[in-house]
Chains A and B, each alone.
Chain A
Amino acid sequence: MATTTITKTEKLVGKRIRRREDPRLITGTATYVDDIKMPGMLYAAILRSPHAAAKIRSIDVSKAKTLKGVHAVFTGEDTKNAGAVPCGASLPGLRVPHHNLLAIDRVYLVGHPVAVVVATDRYIARDGVELIEVDYETENAVADPEKALAPGAHAVHPQWSDNVAFTFHQEGGDTEKAFKEADVIVKQRIVSQRLIPNSMETRGVVADWHAADRNMNLYTSTQAPHLVRSLVAQILGLEENRFRVVAPEVGGGFGAKIQTYAEEILLAYISMKLQKPVKWIESRRENFLCTIHGRGHVDFYEIAAKRDGTITGIKLKIIQDLGAYFTILTPAIPTLSVLMMPGLYRTPNISADIVGAFTNCTPTDAYRGAGRPEATHGIERMVDMVAAELKMDPAEIRLKNFVRNEEFPFPTATGLVYDSGDYSAPLKKAMEMASYDKLRKEQVEARKQGKYMGIGLCAYGEICAFGPSPATPAGGWESATVKIEPSGQVTVLTGISPHGQGEETTFAQITGDELGVGIDDVLVLHGDTSLVPYGIGTFGSRSTAVGGTALYYALQELKAKIKKFGAMLLESEEVTLADGLCTDNKTGKSVGFKEIAAAAYRAMKLPPNTEPGLVSTHFWEPPNFTFPFGAHLVVTDVDGDTGAVSIRRYIAIDDCGNILNPLIVDGQVHGGVAQGIGQALWEQAVYDDDGQLVTGEFMDYTMPRAHMMPWIESGHTVTPTPVNPLGVKGVGEAGTIGASPAVVNSVVDALSPLGVRHLDMPLTPEKLWKLISAGRNA
């Protein structure tokens, strides 16, 4: 339940305050990209390849061109010099396929855009698409990364017959020694399957070119408006200062809207050619095929351990399914898995290899967790398997190997420095909430009755709040501008670009506390590159940790100036700013916030060396990432007759540092956990051998629905980060990272009497039923 009335003197940060964003959202009056309508606006529909691999012998657009209502049809020949879809990641030896906006002589995946029809309404545009005739010469496709790497596989890109985009190696410590001296070595192949992000709003673009001013206005459902602006302007050779990108209301992103997509460049190009505003809205089927996919790992783990449970070394080989092309971060995502491969454990010896494989599939890129769920899933599964091998309790082995509290800041074997942590606290809290020992006793009884009851743990750590700029492709700082209007109201301009995370509220909470104004006196604006000087965007759980810190520093600068004006008005030497008043420390006389604002703009008198006005801008460069952590504990019951998994209890103890708004943090945990459970039990992007996406719509791709979700018992420990003055680590992805290992560990535990030691996701009823039936008949 939220607080609805806040008295002026109460601190805002830390309170369960209902969101400032909500009034427009609950009344249906927000403007998403498909709600934008302009005079003369045309609609674009895209013809996409039905084949995963084919030569294009010919394209006949004549019937489409002459359909009444169609203004233009574009093919790859028309757009071949317009530019290419960008990739921002660079790795040594990376082979980058040229990613044309529209296919020219070949298609490389189902959904590959082949032509664009622009018409007066969306129905006619689709009619036009159906009138285009394409003569394809189909070829064999390869849709599985291991098959793509096998000798003799179809070459996705003819120039690289081995389908290898890159290899990557990283070492820390001495794994050879660790493995030589190990008492036990546990090996396992672990799959983190391809997933469809499926934000409820698909992508969409409205491009509006004004030739006389050389102005481009691009409205796009994006998480990174400034990055889109810089990239598309550069690609099309347009002036960046005359290029405006607006992220209108965005209906979810989860990482799949960080990228600069072909359609953003295409629509801008088309608007320039037709001198009219043009809209394209992605259908859900297109979204399944043409918006990036998540995960796509086949991982080979080896763990070296001592008999007492000490984990001494980790070897990891990742086969990363890249898809046919790259989008902005595609090849970089698995390197994040390597960075977090030791998890919360002190292990000094690691060795990792990545092979990036091309397949005739949709590109993979960042999806909630972006490399860290894969790493956490891997290490947490392995730790359970080592515990089973050593006949140790899974909680005991974790507690033994955690980085110790006195070891922070902790340099990891992968080159990171963990900021702060108390790794045993969430696990102990989760176990206490669950009455862990009682559960284990109950499990013994359940097994006697032939019931499959499981208790699964996951202790996760993660890297977020991207981040130090040298370690990021586009810079990792953030900006904030704080403007106090002459009337005393406050406007915050932030470079982050929220799409559900609630910063219009949390940033107003921070601002209200710092300036002593009410939360409703603060307006937080974002998403418009003409308003906000520059920003990197919202992803990687960075908005509060990095964006909020930029805001904090901008507020400190402004507070100093406000005090100068206050001191001038009070004719005082020393003043204190609190609760909307500037008070003379000696006399106790005070002047109000509004009076100060008026004085600063009216400028009848100015303090020495002080400009009129009350505006400050701060760009903040983070010195490090932050490292949230936590423990999830899941109790499952597997039905022996159907294989269905029932989650009896879900306990999530997450440490995201200081909490600005518990209501919003809970929401982030719940949503993240839902996506993690989704991966563990239901979701998978399945391609057949012809490269057809078999799970191509909600009919076949099982999304978490209300009755499928357990009640999440959410708790926290609070270990502030020293990386930023807010002490905030970030929480956007943590729930997802903690969930899938906890659920899978629980089900493996449930089925361990059958000899099961590992299962790959998703744990569908069919998969488990087959296992159980085989076990019962054995």
Chain B
Amino acid sequence: MTEIRPMTETINVNINGTAYSHDVEPRLLLIHYLREVVGLTGPHIGCETSLCGACTVELNGKAVKSCAVFAIQADGAKVLTIEGMAANGKLHKIQEAFWNEHGLQCGFCTPGMIMITKQILDRNPDPSEQEIRHGLDGNLCRCTGYQHIVNAVRAAAKAAGA
């Protein structure tokens, strides 16, 4: 029997406030670690070339495409996914804004869009339309034409006091 013996490494990751410890193959992508090992299926897979952004999560406060990060690179890090955005049953202002502005249709790009929106507003609490569009450029949406997403980002900025 042909056997490919996988090496594994132990990683310790804090995801949405909870500590996880797992043995993973070095080639395991962070997106697969989150979805398959930890069981957080909010971040989605839309491509293999880090161009669609559906897998966007925060790694130590920085928005990353988790399909372009190995799980072992998240060892010792803090990860925030869409599942960690609402707190104590209350939606995050960004989530409310997407809901109010119809900033989603099929919902597949939405977790990534919400995470990148957080990054946009963390860096720039009162962005112009062009700054918003530029910030969203790494995230593809096929359903909305982006207009209601831009409105959602603006509404979230306003709700946060911008």
Chain A residues proximal to chain B, CB less than 8 Å: 1-2, 4, 18-19, 21-32, 34-35, 63, 66-68, 121-124, 127, 131, 198-202, 249-252, 254, 281, 283-285, 499-502, 663-664, 666-667, 670-675, 697-699, 703-707, 709, 711-712, 735
User: How far is B41's CA from A281's CA once the two chains are assembled, in angstroms?
Assistant: 14
Whether the Cβ atoms of A500 and B107 lie closer than 8 Å is yes
User: Which of A27, A66, A501 meets B91, CB within 8 Å?
Assistant: A27
A342 CB to nearest B CB, Å: 29
Chain B residue with the shortest CB-CB distance to A670: B145
A281 contacts across to B, CB distance below 8 A:
45
> In the complex, A32→B98 CA distance in Å?
20
Contact across chains for A706 and B102 when beta carbons are under 8 A apart: no
Task: Report Cα–Cα, A63/B2, bound state, in Å.
Answer: 7
Instruction: Report B129-160 residues with CB < 8 Å from chain A CB.
Output: 129-130, 132-134, 136-137, 139-151, 155
Known: A28-B43, A67-B4. A252 touches B48 (CB 8 A): no
- Check if A27 sits within 8 Å of B147, measured CB to CB: no
Query: Which residues from chain A contact B129 at a C-beta distance below 8 Å?
Result: 711
Q: B114: CB under 8 A from chain A?
A: yes
Q: Which residues of B contact A66 (CB under 8 A)?
A: 1-2
A sample of 6 cross-chain residue pairs with beta-carbon separation below 8 angstroms, ordered by A number, consists of A22-B98, A26-B104, A28-B81, A29-B42, A67-B4, A122-B32
State whether A26 and B95 are in contact (beta carbons under 8 Å apart), knowing that A664-B102, A698-B49 are contacts in the complex.
yes
A760 to B3, CA, bound (A): 54
Is B142's CB under 8 angstroms from A198's CB? Answer: yes
Contacts of B7 in A (CB 8 A): none
Given contacts A34-B41, A699-B49, contact A18 B2 (CB under 8 A): no
> Of residues B36, B45, B104, B143, which shows the largest number of chain A Cβ atoms within 10 Å of its Cβ?
B143
Known contacts A32-B44, A667-B105, A703-B142; 12 further A-B pairs (Cβ under 8 A): A1-B101, A21-B107, A22-B107, A25-B107, A28-B81, A32-B41, A200-B54, A200-B140, A666-B147, A697-B48, A704-B146, A706-B146
Min CB distance, A659 to chain B, in Å?
14
The 8 closest A-B pairs by CB, nearest first: A28-B42, A251-B108, A25-B107, A500-B105, A500-B106, A670-B145, A674-B145, A28-B82
Are A251's CB and B107's CB within 8 A? yes
Contact of A709 among B81, B107, B145 (CB under 8 A): B145
Chain A residues, Cβ within 8 Å of B83: 27-29
Cβ–Cβ contact B99 & A23, under 8 A = yes
Q: Indicate if the CB atoms of A666 and B148 lie closer than 8 Å.
A: yes
Which residues 103-122 in B have Cβ within 8 Å of A in the complex? 104-111, 114
A283 to B108, CA, bound (A): 15
A4 to B100, CA, bound (A): 7
**Interface contact B1-A709, CB-CB below 8 Å:** no
Q: Report Cα–Cα, A34/B31, bound state, in Å.
A: 13
* B67 CB, min distance to chain A CBs, angstroms: 10
Q: Is the CB of B102 within 8 A of A19?
A: yes
Within B67-85, the residues touching A (CB, 8 Å) are 81-83, 85
- Residues of A within 8 Å of B4, CB to CB, are 67-68, 124, 127
Cβ-defined contact, A251 with B44, below 8 A:
yes
> Do B145 and A673 touch (CB < 8 A)?
yes
Residues in chain A near residue B86, CB distance under 8 A: 27
Across the interface, do A675 and B140 meet the contact criterion of CB distance under 8 Å? no
Task: For the complex, count residues of B whose C-beta is within 8 A of A.
Answer: 65
Q: Tell me the minimal C-beta distance from B83 to chain A in angstroms.
A: 5
Cβ contacts under 8 Å, B36 to chain A:
121
Contact A667 B107 (CB under 8 A): no
A68 and B134 contact, CB distance less than 8 A:
no
B125 interface residue per 8 A CB criterion: no
**In the assembled complex, how far is the CB of residue B117 from the closest CB belonging to chain A, in whole angstroms?**
11
B120 CB to closest chain A CB (Å) equals: 11
| Bound complex: CA A698 to CA B85 (Å) | 29
Interface of B is mostly: loop
Q: Which residues of B contact A672 (CB under 8 A)?
A: 145
Given A26-B104, A201-B46, are A671 and B144 neighbors across the interface (CB < 8 Å)?
Answer: yes
Report whether A699 and B146 are in contact in the complex, using a CB–CB cutoff of 8 Å.
no
Chain A residue at minimum C-beta to C-beta distance from B135: A706
Give the residue of A499, A675, A699 whose beta carbon is less than 8 angstroms from that of B106: A499
Residues on A with beta carbons closer than 8 Å to the beta carbon of B100: 1-2, 4, 18
Among candidates B109, B110, B147, residue contacting A711 with C-beta atoms closer than 8 Å: B147
Is B142's CB under 8 angstroms from A252's CB?
Answer: yes
- Could you tell me if A200 and B2 are in contact, using CB atoms closer than 8 angstroms? no
Q: Which A residues lie within 8 Å of B11 (CB)?
A: none
Tell me which residues across on chain A come within 8 A of B137, comparing CB atoms: 705-707
Find chain B residues with CB under 8 A from A673 CB: 145
Question: Once the chains are docked, how many angstroms separate the CA of A121 from the CA of B36?
Answer: 10
Q: How far is the CA of A501 from the CA of B32 in the complex (A)?
A: 29
A30 touches B107 (CB 8 A): yes
**B41 / chain A contacts, CB cutoff of 8 Å:** 28, 31-32, 34-35
Taking a contact as CB atoms under 8 Å apart, the answer to whether A199 and B99 are in contact is no
Is B25 among interface residues, defined by CB-CB distance under 8 A?
Answer: yes
Residues of A within 8 A of B3 (CB): 67-68
Q: How far is the CA of A767 from the CA of B5 in the complex (A)?
A: 52
A-chain residues with CB within 8 Å of residue B95 when the two chains form the complex: 26-27
When A66-B2, A68-B2, A675-B142 are in contact, do A25 and B104 touch as well, CB less than 8 Å? yes
* A-chain residues with CB within 8 Å of residue B144 when the two chains form the complex: 667, 670-671, 674
A294 to chain B, nearest CB (A): 12
Q: A34-B41, A127-B4 are in contact. Are A709 and B147 (CB under 8 A)?
A: yes
CA distance A252 to B90 in the complex (A): 28
User: Do B107 and A123 touch (CB < 8 A)?
Assistant: no
Docked CA distance A710–B52 (Å):
20
A218→B161 CA distance, assembly (Å): 48
User: Contact between B99 and A19 (Cβ–Cβ < 8 Å)?
Assistant: yes
A252, B85: Cβ atoms closer than 8 Å: no
Judge whether A123 and B45 touch: CB under 8 Å. no
Given contacts A27-B85, A28-B82, A254-B142, contact A698 B51 (CB under 8 A): yes
B111 and A28 within 8 A (CB)? yes
Contact B136 A706 (CB under 8 A): yes
Say whether B162 faces chain A, with CB atoms less than 8 Å apart.
Answer: no
Contacts of A667 in B (CB 8 A): 102, 105, 143-144, 148
Given A123-B27, A127-B4, A201-B44; A18-B99 close (CB under 8 Å): yes
**Interface presence of B38 (CB below 8 A):** no
Q: Of the candidates B49, B81, B91, which one forms a contact with A697 in the assembled complex, judged by CB atoms under 8 Å apart?
A: B49
Complex Cα distance, B99 from A673, in Å, reads 22
Nearest residue, chain A, Cβ from B51: A698
Q: Using known A-B contacts A27-B85, A202-B46, A712-B147, determine if residue A705 contacts B140 with beta carbons closer than 8 Å.
A: yes
CB distance from B20 to the nearest CB of A (A): 17
In the bound complex, residues from chain B placing their C-beta under 8 Å from that of A698 are 47, 49, 51-52, 140
- Chain A residues with CB below 8 A from B145, complex form: 670-674, 704, 709, 712, 735
Report A-chain residues with C-beta under 8 Å of the C-beta of B105.
252, 500-502, 667, 671
Q: Tell me, in angstroms, the Cα distance from A31 to B25 when the chains sit together.
A: 26
**B159 smallest CB distance to A (angstroms):** 12
Expressed in whole angstroms, the Cα–Cα distance for A684 and B114 within the complex equals 29
- Per the bound structure, the CA–CA distance linking A527 and B137 in Å amounts to 33
Residues of A within 8 A of B45 (CB): 34, 281
A123-B27, A706-B150 as given contacts; A699 in contact with B51, CB under 8 Å: yes
B47 touches A67 (CB 8 A): no
A666, B101: Cα distance in complex, Å: 11
Residues on the B chain within 8 Å of A121, using CB:
36
Q: Among B32, B49, B82, B106, which residue has its beta carbon within 8 angstroms of that of A252?
A: B106
For B54, give the chain A residue with the smallest CB separation: A200
**A284 touching B114, Cβ below 8 Å:** no
Determine the residue in chain B with the shortest Cβ distance to A667. B102
- Distance in angstroms from A284 CB to nearest chain B CB is 4
Q: Verify A199–B42 contact, CB threshold 8 A.
A: no
A251 CA / B141 CA spacing, docked (Å) = 10
A26-B114 in contact (CB<8A): yes
Which of B28, B47, B99 makes the CB contact (< 8 A) with A22? B99
Could you tell me if B1 and A250 are in contact, using CB atoms closer than 8 angstroms?
no
| Cβ–Cβ contact B134 & A707, under 8 A | yes
Closest to A709 in B: B146
- How many angstroms between the C-alpha atoms of A72 and B46 in the bound complex? 27
